[in-house]
Chain A
Amino acid sequence: MKHFIFIILLFFTSLAKAAEALSVNVPDTLAERVKACAICHGAEDRHSRDAYYPRIAGKLEGYLFNQLRHFRDGRRYYQPMAILLENMSDEYLQEIARYFAALDLPYPSPESVTLLPSEANLAEKLVYSGDLKRNIPACSACHGKNLMGTAPFVPGLLGLHSTYLTAQLGGWHSGGLIRGKIANCMADIAKQLTYEEINAVSKWLTTQPVSGKPANQLSPEMAQRCASIVSENGDAR
Chain B
Amino acid sequence: MIQTMIIIARESKNNFLFLGYMLALLVVADTTMVNASPEKTAMSEQRRAQGEYLARVGNCLGCHTAKGGRPFAGGHRLITSFGTFITPNITPDKETGLGSWREEDFWKAMHEGKSRDGKLLYPAFPYTEYTKVTRTDANLIFAYLQSIPAVSQSNPPHEIRFPYNSRPLLYLWRALFFKQGVYEPDPSKSDEWNRGAYLVQGLGHCNACHIARNVLGAIQEDTVGGGQIMGSNWYAPSLTSRREAGSMHWTIEEIIELLSSGVSQRAMTSGPMGTVVRQSLQYLSQDDLRAMAVYLKSLLESNAQPEVNYPEMPENVRKYLAQGEKLYKKYCEECHGITGQGASGIYPALAGNRSVTMTIPTNVIRSVLNGGYPPTTAANPRPYGMPPFQQIIRDEEVAQVVSFIRNAWGNRGSLVSAIDVGQSRGSSH
Contacts and interface: CB of A to CB of B under 8 A. Distances in A.
Nearest to B342: A24
Contact of A87 (B275, B347, B390): B275
Contact of B347 (A24, A82, A85, A86): A24
A98 interface: no
Contact of B388 (A80, A95, A237): A80
B429 A89 contact: no
Given A24-B347, A26-B347, A83 B370 contact: yes
A109 interface: no
A87 B384 contact: no
B376 interface: yes
Contacts, number: 103
Nearest to A87: B375
A88 to B, nearest CB: 5
Contact of B428 (A23, A82, A84, A235): A82
Interface string A64-103: 0000000011110001101111111101100100000000
Contacts of A73: 67-68
Contacts of A91: 376, 381
B341 interface: yes
A88 B387 contact: no
Interface string A23-48: 11110001011111111100000000
Contacts of B277: 87
A85 to B, nearest CB: 8
B386 A36 contact: yes
Among A24, A72, A75, A84, chain B packs the most CB atoms within 10 A around the CB of A24
Contacts of A22: 341
Interface string B319-351: 000000000000000111111011110110000
B341 A26 contact: no
A21 interface: yes
Among B335, B375, B388, B429, chain A packs the most CB atoms within 10 A around the CB of B388
B46 to A, nearest CB: 25
B391 interface: yes
Contact of A83 (B372, B376, B382): B372
B276 to A, nearest CB: 10
A30 B381 CA distance: 12
Interface residues of B, dominant DSSP = loop
B141 to A, nearest CB: 21
Among B342, B373, B374, chain A packs the most CB atoms within 10 A around the CB of B373
Interface residues of A, number: 35
B381 A89 contact: yes
B389 interface: yes
B385 interface: yes
B376 A23 contact: no
A74 B67 contact: yes
B87 to A, nearest CB: 15
Nearest to A92: B376
B113 interface: no
A36 B387 contact: yes
Contact of A23 (B278, B343, B387): B343
Contacts of B126: none
Contacts of A74: 67-68
A40 B391 contact: yes
B83 interface: no
B123 interface: no
A26 to B, nearest CB: 5
Given A26-B347, A74-B67, A79-B428, A84 B388 contact: yes
A66 B105 CA distance: 41
Given A36-B373, A73-B67, A84-B373, A21 B388 contact: no
A87 B385 contact: no
B268 to A, nearest CB: 12
Contacts of A92: 376, 381-383
B384 A32 contact: yes
B392 interface: yes
B387 A21 contact: no
A86 B387 CA distance: 14
Given A32-B384, A33-B385, A74-B68, A88 B376 contact: yes
Contacts of B373: 36, 84-85, 87-88
B74 to A, nearest CB: 15
A102 B67 CA distance: 29
Closest 9 CB pairs of A and B: A73-B68, A87-B375, A39-B387, A36-B385, A74-B67, A89-B376, A24-B343, A36-B387, A80-B388
Interface of A: 21-26, 30, 32-40, 72-75, 79-80, 82-89, 91-92, 95, 235, 237
Interface of B: 67-68, 262, 274-275, 277-278, 334-339, 341-344, 346-347, 370-376, 381-392, 428-429
18 contacts: A23-B341, A23-B343, A24-B336, A26-B346, A26-B347, A33-B383, A33-B384, A34-B385, A39-B392, A40-B391, A75-B68, A84-B372, A84-B373, A84-B388, A86-B275, A87-B278, A87-B376, A235-B68
Given A24-B341, A35-B387, A80-B390, 19 more contacts: A23-B341, A26-B335, A26-B343, A26-B384, A33-B385, A36-B386, A36-B388, A38-B387, A39-B391, A80-B371, A84-B371, A86-B372, A86-B429, A87-B262, A87-B274, A87-B373, A87-B375, A87-B376, A88-B373
